[in-house]
Amino acid sequence: MSIDNFTIKLILFSDMSAIFIMIGASLLLAIGFLIAFIWSVKNNQYEDDYTPSVRILFDNTSLDEEKINTLKNTEITRTKNK
Partner 1 sequence: MKIIEANQVKTSCYHCGEIVYNREFAIDSKSFCCRGCQTVYEIINKNDLCSYYTIENSPGINQKHSVRRGKFDFLDDQQIIKKIIHFQDDLHQHVIFYLPQMHCSSCIWILEQLNKIDAGIIKSQVNFIKKEVTVIYDYHKTSLKKVAESLTIIGYEPHISLNDIAAGKIKTYDTSQIVKLGISGFCFGNIMMLSFPDYFSFGNVEDAALKYWFSYLNLILALPVFFYSASDFFISGIKGIRQKNLNIDAPIALAILITFSRSIYEILSDTGSGYLDSMSGIVFFMLIGRYFQNKTYQTISFDRDFKSYFPLGVSIVNHDGFEKQIAVSDVKVGDRIRIHNDEIIPVDAILFLGKATVDYSFVTGESLPIEKTIGEIIYAGGRQTSGAIELEVVKEVSQSYLTQLWNNAAFDEKKEKPLRSFIHQISQYFTYILFSIAILSAIYWMINDASKVWNVVTAVLIVACPCALLLSATFTNGNMIRILNKYQLYVKNAFVIEQLSDIDTIVFDKTGTITEQSKAEIIYEGNDLTIDQCQLIRSLASQSNHPLSKSITSYLPFNKNLICKNYQELKGYGTIATIHQHQVKMGSAEFVLKRVNSFQSSGSKIYVSIDNEFIGQFTIKNSYRRGLEDVVNSLKSHFDLKILSGDNAAEEPHLKQLFGKNTELLFNQKPEDKLNYIKKLQLNNRKVMMIGDGLNDAGALKQSDVGIAISDDTNNFSPACDAVLAGEKFNILNDLIGYCKKEKTIIYSSFILSILYNFIGLFYAIQGDLKPVIAAILMPLSSISIVLLTTGLSSLYELKLKK
Site residues (vs partner 1, CB under 8 A): 2-5, 7-8, 16, 19-20, 23, 27, 30, 34, 37-38, 41-42, 44, 46-48, 50-51, 54-55, 57-59, 61
Of the two residues 8 and 76, which places its CB atom closer to partner 1 in the complex? Answer: 8
Cα distance between residue 82 and residue 74, in whole Å: 12
Cα distance between residue 66 and residue 57, in whole Å: 20
Please report how close the Cβ of residue 75 comes to partner 1 at its closest, in angstroms: 18
Please report how close the Cβ of residue 82 comes to partner 1 at its closest, in angstroms: 28
CA-closest candidate to residue 23, choices 31, 33, 35:
31
